[in-house]
Copies of this chain bind each other. A is one copy, B any other.
Amino acid sequence: MSAHRVAVIAGDGVGPEVVAQARRAVEATGVEIAWTELPWGSDHYHRTGRMMPADALATLRGHDAILLGAVGDPSVPDHISLWELLLALRQGLDLWANVRPAQLLPGVPGPLAGRAPGEVDMLFVRENTEGEYAGVGGRVHAGLAGETGIEVSVFTRPAVERVVRFAFERAEERRGRLTSATKSNASRYGYVLWDEVVAEVAADHPGVEVDSVLVDALAARMVRDPGSLDVVVASNLFGDVLTDLAAALQGGMGVAASASLAPGSDAPPLFEPVHGSAPDIAGRGVANPIGCLWSAQLMLEQLGEPEAAAALRAAIAAVCRQGPRTRDLGGTASTAEVGDAVVRAVEA
């Protein structure tokens, strides 16, 4: 088998630091990868006026996967760095299924009292291309007393249906429970369509126990009874909020991983840690690489390398359990020391 072609967008802030460790760990598994380094992000913006070149999507389409570190720098307005890179990739490549696992890991101290690893194992499936992130809206009477800002959320049946169906399939492979986040009591258009599609797709999956939960109550339930959740399917915004909450409940942003997939298409899937560029600690070698390592682990699964994926999963779990750990997990190790330990565990 020829080498997998992986595009690397190390990006801004701590991105390059955590990506470097993920690459070493992937290489330690022995899987052959041809890496393409793409120097896109805020520096590129300052040099060229664009976060990435005009032919970026075409360049990426020639790859089997994308590994992304982080995007965002104080010197570039957020809406530019995100809409011209991260959201441009998710939407431009139509990577509609954003998958974010959240579980308590041995050795990663969580904030919830009395919850042990094994008790909490959730998989979030977030719609990744439309909804509240449609980018539609505007402002009228700008700067005047009557100024009004409008945000338009757009829910289309095909886009809702594909992500809901995907979530049901994940539930079938797991514990057979699907929870849908909604707010159709207050918002009677898009979220009602969402609920209807969930009910329709449920009819094709009689083995899955479904419940539809208001997003506010669901946030509360994640704190009160996280063990009752298996797969959660949510709109783009609800998925955004609930997965940050899930990352906090699992012991912090530093360990959370994500995959953005386009099942059935040949667009390259995108793997990235849930944490951002963390400019406050960038360049100091103290960022936690676990979120990026775990994202690379999801990439190996997706590339069809189950043995390598299993080896990397075991290595990450072992390092979480035994240390070394970075500061955010109560340790004193550097990014590279954690990376070294994972590489050694993979090689062992």
Interface residues, chain A, with chain B CB atoms under 8 Å away: 78-79, 82-83, 87, 110-114, 132-133, 135, 137-139, 141, 144-158, 183-194, 215-217, 219-221, 223-224, 237, 240-245, 247-249, 252-253
Within the complex, the shortest CB–CB distance from A70 to chain B, in Å, comes to 13
A152 and B151: CB pair below 8 A? yes
B186 and A157: CB pair below 8 A? no
Contact A187 to B132, CB < 8 A, known contacts A148-B156, A156-B146: yes
B112 and A240: CB pair below 8 A? no
A185 and B82: CB pair below 8 A? yes
Q: Considering the chains assembled together, what is the distance between the CA atoms of A60 and B132 in angstroms?
A: 36
A189 and B137: CB pair below 8 A? yes
Q: Which residues of B contact A216 (CB under 8 A)?
A: 240-241, 243-245
Within the complex, the shortest CB–CB distance from A124 to chain B, in Å, comes to 12
Q: Considering the chains assembled together, what is the distance between the CA atoms of A143 and B185 in angstroms?
A: 20
A147 and B156: CB pair below 8 A? yes
A153 and B153: CB pair below 8 A? yes
Within the complex, the shortest CB–CB distance from A216 to chain B, in Å, comes to 4
**What 3 A-B pairs come out closest when comparing CB atoms?**
A137-B189, A149-B190, A149-B193
Within the complex, the shortest CB–CB distance from A234 to chain B, in Å, comes to 12
B79 and A188: CB pair below 8 A? yes
Q: Which residues of B contact A113 (CB under 8 A)?
A: 110-114
